[in-house]
Chain A
């Protein structure tokens, strides 16, 4: 059933004719999804991950059983162990991306039966892609008659399918595809096959416009200060025609170009929008969370504030023109990509209604703005921050720090944050930390030296706080619910880059270790028996744990409920069973350790009428369950756990929910370690026990 263009010309032709005959004369019919459906990646274009369903509730959550499941192993030429997708469910069909092919599958939402599958065979272009595997999902569009599915392949092509058949829509772009490496106001180098640009997030469709960002390889040790740029584009959902483009790195003459001194905007790349985009269709505004510019941790080749790096940008849905922007981090040096969907919330502040946008972040701040104007709801003053001494670096002397709400996860490291179950453990942790430079949020990276510091020990940077799954929003209580890694430590040290590795002066590394070139999947294929590099013996290898225990004290991972009317926490809990390594640690037996939560950055939450639902990111083995992870439900008013159900592997894609035939389902993607990707649908038993 896999769709391959040359073999299905007959079907394509039929669909082309059928589509032509059925084409609506006036595109006035609007598609209105029901709140029992899940029509876009985050439930809606506001990024809420909220559905007001209540069949599954506190009283019965633990009774959930598996209604159906589907392994993604065979949707590609190898199994996938990092399934990050969230399916859609609309008009009685469930759609998802799946497997190492990033196939699109359509399933019966009640039974999991496979209805159709579509896969694109991209050969070298797919193999060279910077962001592989199945991605986060896809987009659905309908004018009330026709239904379309849109997704982006690993090789960066936008594909448009007939939602009923999985066959390409021939009138869209070039026989159903738009090559996203073309028509991008830049020449993707070195060529269309290997040129580094792609995306793993789901497209969004708003008012007949498909919006697509861009992603690149991880940027800790890039080969060059030059890279392709991550512009954002809008396309006509009917024709595939490009409607607009927003230059996330301004071109000469455009606003913000002067924030790139020494003409560095010309060659600096990245600065894409690799995570989910949010849209207010009523206001006609699009919210773009922009990532870091080239070279995550060294900015000496891009002096200046570097707009629109790590900036929340609001653009017009029709034209792509900038309406307002707010740079969260000036001259980015910490890999604080804005990593998740901005959340739209209609709130009441000091008695006045406000249309707000709330942006979770890796650094644990929730930035809240008036979404029409960009004015902060609560002041975000510029505060002085430490200026470092890495040669050639350019430092911003201040950074904007929200006065409200308080940071919901740790964003710096002090001795007081270190593990303190016993004085001996604290002592060991202090010894490890003493090899590093410590400080609060925005403490800059240091050069890595054998005699110390090896680097800056950071939290709330590359992998901390909230990453791509983002938060949820409850329009009933006006609360944002957001998971955060509260213990994801990132040592950031810089070392000179050997010329054969990079033309950048300094890249991430550790003194005494050979600099590793960051090569992406496909780049090193064919090198049969590689000659191992010579490595200096012993230098610089410091384990960032204390005898296997996390270096910092719990909670390791949290869910926080933040009320947006007041900018205050409603509750905060540790999310996730205490890890095996802590529960089984000999010297801790007999100590009364409250649930610690888990150190992981990829947990998405779901909000229903009464519950906040999220799975665990780690496997544990306890007296209550065999090796596995739990999908947990919390009372959304209090944060109290009200139920849990067993999953065979950790949650790796955010949960979603829908109703079909009078029954509520929760679908979650699990994978990791020995367990290949699987979508699992949970529902209540049909009959009483």
Chain B
């Protein structure tokens, strides 16, 4: 767990909030007593995030671009517009397909079935970098942390096609 999202912390790391400290003590107790609660403790405590919250970095997208072109473009197209046997990875149909699901769902689909010649041949990091490139092409904003390569973390990022109304 070395890639926690920014803006969220696990209770016992907090040292300026007594309520949090109490919570941490309880969480700690539960961690000892129950493996199920360990999972619970690792789930995000802060509000969940979406692809509109800067969930990848520009550098990562740049890393993903050549991998995309090497591994994906032959079927999905140079411009991600798809081909005879592969769906587009940009545009309305793509966004509608995944909207309401999570980045974990999309990542899992890639891990299980892509590239078609040898599913799972790429590393998790390569797949995450390709996803970062896809997000950049689809004009989702870049941020300061890289997109995770852990499925369970990616499941915490909602994929939403519509830009949410500005906060505050």
A residues near B, CB below 8 A?
78-79, 81-82, 127, 131-132, 218, 220, 462-463, 509-510, 513-514, 516-526, 528, 530, 532-535, 541-545, 548-550, 579-582, 584, 598-600, 617-621, 627, 672-674
> Which residues of B (58-83) have their CB < 8 Å from a CB of A?
65-67, 69-71, 73-74, 78-79, 81, 83
Contacts of A543 in B (CB 8 A): 79, 90, 137
**Is the pair A78, B98 in contact by a Cβ cutoff of 8 Å?**
no
Nearest Cβ in chain A — how far from B55, in angstroms?
18
Nearest Cβ in chain A — how far from B126, in angstroms?
8
B99: interface (CB < 8 Å): yes
Interface stretch, picked from B35-43, B108-116, B146-154, is B108-116
B33: interface (CB < 8 Å): no
**Is the pair A619, B97 in contact by a Cβ cutoff of 8 Å?**
yes
List 12 additional contacts besides A526-B118, A545-B90; criterion CB under 8 Å. Answer: A78-B113, A78-B119, A522-B117, A525-B117, A548-B95, A548-B139, A580-B95, A582-B92, A618-B96, A627-B99, A673-B94, A673-B97
**Is the pair B66, A532 in contact by a Cβ cutoff of 8 Å?**
yes
Contacts of B113 in A (CB 8 A): 78-79, 81
**Is the pair B96, A545 in contact by a Cβ cutoff of 8 Å?**
no
**Is the pair A81, B116 in contact by a Cβ cutoff of 8 Å?**
no
25 A-B contacts, Cβ less than 8 Å apart? Answer: A78-B112, A218-B84, A516-B73, A521-B117, A522-B117, A524-B71, A530-B70, A530-B71, A532-B66, A532-B70, A533-B70, A534-B66, A535-B69, A543-B137, A544-B81, A545-B92, A579-B92, A579-B96, A580-B95, A584-B161, A600-B93, A621-B100, A672-B87, A673-B97, A673-B98
Q: Number of B residues whose C-beta is below 8 Å from A?
A: 42
Contacts of B94 in A (CB 8 A): 673
Nearest Cβ in chain A — how far from B22, in angstroms?
40
**Is the pair A548, B92 in contact by a Cβ cutoff of 8 Å?**
yes
B34: interface (CB < 8 Å): no
Nearest Cβ in chain A — how far from B70, in angstroms?
5
Contacts of A621 in B (CB 8 A): 96, 99-100
Name which residue of chain B comes closest to A585, CB basis. Answer: B162
Nearest Cβ in chain B — how far from A583, in angstroms?
10
Contacts of B69 in A (CB 8 A): 514, 516, 532-533, 535
Nearest Cβ in chain A — how far from B158, in angstroms?
13
Given the complex of chains A and B, what is the CA–CA distance between A581 and B100 in angstroms?
13
Describe A's contact surface by its main secondary structure: loop
B105: interface (CB < 8 Å): yes
Nearest Cβ in chain A — how far from B85, in angstroms?
7
**Is the pair B97, A549 in contact by a Cβ cutoff of 8 Å?**
no
Name which residue of chain B comes closest to A530, CB basis. Answer: B70
B121: interface (CB < 8 Å): yes
Contacts of A218 in B (CB 8 A): 83-85
Given the complex of chains A and B, what is the CA–CA distance between A675 and B168 in angstroms?
36
Given the complex of chains A and B, what is the CA–CA distance between A145 and B100 in angstroms?
53
**Is the pair A533, B90 in contact by a Cβ cutoff of 8 Å?**
no
**Is the pair B96, A674 in contact by a Cβ cutoff of 8 Å?**
no
Q: Do A521 and B116 contact each other (CB < 8 Å), given the known contacts A516-B73, A674-B97, A674-B101?
A: yes
**Is the pair A674, B74 in contact by a Cβ cutoff of 8 Å?**
no
Identify which of A542, A620, A673 gathers the most chain B CB atoms within 10 Å of its CB. A673
Nearest Cβ in chain B — how far from A198, in angstroms?
12
Name which residue of chain B comes closest to A542, CB basis. Answer: B79
Q: Do A580 and B99 contact each other (CB < 8 Å), given the known contacts A521-B116, A526-B118?
A: yes
Nearest Cβ in chain A — how far from B100, in angstroms?
5
B143: interface (CB < 8 Å): no
**Is the pair B85, A674 in contact by a Cβ cutoff of 8 Å?**
no
Name which residue of chain A comes closest to B95, CB basis. Answer: A581
Given the complex of chains A and B, what is the CA–CA distance between A40 and B117 in angstroms?
31
**Is the pair B66, A581 in contact by a Cβ cutoff of 8 Å?**
no
Contacts of A510 in B (CB 8 A): 78-79
**Is the pair A619, B96 in contact by a Cβ cutoff of 8 Å?**
yes
Contacts of B92 in A (CB 8 A): 545, 548-550, 579-582, 599, 618
